[in-house]
């Protein structure tokens, strides 16, 4: 591994909230969202997820961020010479029996990839295998180290060309931190699933992936890694940890064939939380997956997959309106009322 000095734009990005850390201009916030909130009032109007549409429509910098090329002195020097492929891969996705995981598995298979899904419940895997015989299926419990080791051995034996691991499994639970009996057990389970699960998955596959000429680890964080939802403290923290884990191992693996890509979903209409599948404020699942696939194809050298709706949360601190983002996010959350 070697280090390079950042160019001028990257240095500007550290001090100027209009720029991301990699020197690419971040989406600007419209004047209507920069106005301070009245003291003691609760924000009203569109929820934060919907506000992203107006941000994108009224800010040309969003389009610039999609089209702009990363600086030649890429912050990790990983990906530009060996971009992520959207087809011709063999992919394992633990935690993909429903929601984003299953929808992404089907979309990736449709683009010419061999896809293996993973989940805890054998009956659920069998049902999906009957409906979608084109998908492979392996039983795995990402909270159980022994299950991870067994599944990894099976996948590597049956799919020796495996070159992409997508660590999709995760849970999101509400907590009340006023008393330990209302959060401690949930917090422990959340960390076990959302943080230790991906760490153990990567440990089980990293040596195999390094032997492949072109491989990718995809971590899954959340917009809540960058702006906290009041009712899910440990989920927020676990996803912030996943973000930094990806940033860190990308540095370590820069001298290998393994790329590290981070998927950063906004609120999506899935069963992750009660009522989320029918929440009009959440992004429709099919729209999310379609945009993700388009971004992978259009920006194969990227390190973060950011659909437009998540940029409201992702760049709040960079824009300088973090407090406003957090206030509006929590005021619009139906679980906090």
| Closest of 304, 223, 204, 322 to residue 266, by C-alpha | 223
Chain segment 30-68, per-residue pLDDT in tens = 443 334 333 333 333 334 443 444 444 433 343 344 344
What are the residue numbers of the active site? 235
DSSP 54-109: HHHHH-HHHHHHHHPPPPSS-SS--SSSSPPPSSS-EEEEES-SSHHHHHHHHHHH
Domain ranges (residues) in the chain: 90-321
Protein fold of 90-321: Rossmann fold (3.40.50)
pLDDT band with cut points at 50, 70 and 90 for residue 337: low
How far apart CA 283 and CA 225 sit, in angstroms, is 17
How far apart CA 21 and CA 14 sit, in angstroms, is 6
If you average pLDDT over residues 71-97, what whole number do you get? 69
Long-range CB contact pairs, 281-290, < 8 A, 24+ = 281/47, 281/49, 281/50, 281/332, 282/49, 283/49, 283/307, 283/309, 285/99, 285/100, 285/103, 286/103, 288/100, 288/103, 289/100, 289/103, 289/104, 289/107, 290/107
Cα 169 to Cα 166, 172, 261, 327, distances in angstroms = 9, 11, 16, 28
If you average pLDDT over residues 231-257, what whole number do you get? 98
Q: What is the mean pLDDT of the chain?
A: 81
pLDDT for 336 equals 65
């Amino acid at each position: 591994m070697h280090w390079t000095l950042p160019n001028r734009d990257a240095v500007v990005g550290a001090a100027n909230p209009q720029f991301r850390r990699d020197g690419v201009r971040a989406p600007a916030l419209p004047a209507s969202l920069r106005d301070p909130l009245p003291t003691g009032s609760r924000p009203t109007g569109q929820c934060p997820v919907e506000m992203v549409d107006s941000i994108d429509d009224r800010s040309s910098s969003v389009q610039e961020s999609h089209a702009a090329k990363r600086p030649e002195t890429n912050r990790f020097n990983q990906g530009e010479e060996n971009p992520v492929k959207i087809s011709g891969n063999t992919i394992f996705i633990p935690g993909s029996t429903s929601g984003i995981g299953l929808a992404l598995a089907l979309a990736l298979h449709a683009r010419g990839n061999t896809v293996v899904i993973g989940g805890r419940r054998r009956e659920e895997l069998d049902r999906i295998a009957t409906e979608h015989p084109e998908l492979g299926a392996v039983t795995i419990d990402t909270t159980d180290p022994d299950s991870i080791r067994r599944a990894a051995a099976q996948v590597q034996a049956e799919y020796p060309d495996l070159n992409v691991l997508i660590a999709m499994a995760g849970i999101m639970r509400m907590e009340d931190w006023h008393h330990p009996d209302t959060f401690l057990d949930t917090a422990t389970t959340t960390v076990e699933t959302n943080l230790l699960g991906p760490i153990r998955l990567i440990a089980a596959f990293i040596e195999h992936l390094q032997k492949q000429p072109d491989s990718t680890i995809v971590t899954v964080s959340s917009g809540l890694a960058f702006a906290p939802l009041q009712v899910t403290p440990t989920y927020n923290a676990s996803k912030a940890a996943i973000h930094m884990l990806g940033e860190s191992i990308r540095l370590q693996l820069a001298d290998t064939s393994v790329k590290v890509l981070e998927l950063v979903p906004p609120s999506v209409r899935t069963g992750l939380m009660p009522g989320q599948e029918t929440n009009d404020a959440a992004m429709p699942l099919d729209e999310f997956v379609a945009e993700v696939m388009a971004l992978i194809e259009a920006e194969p050298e990227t390190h973060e997959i950011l659909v437009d709706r998540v940029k409201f949360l992702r760049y709040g601190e960079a824009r300088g309106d973090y407090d406003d983002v957090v206030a509006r996010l929590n005021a619009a959350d139906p679980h906090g009322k």
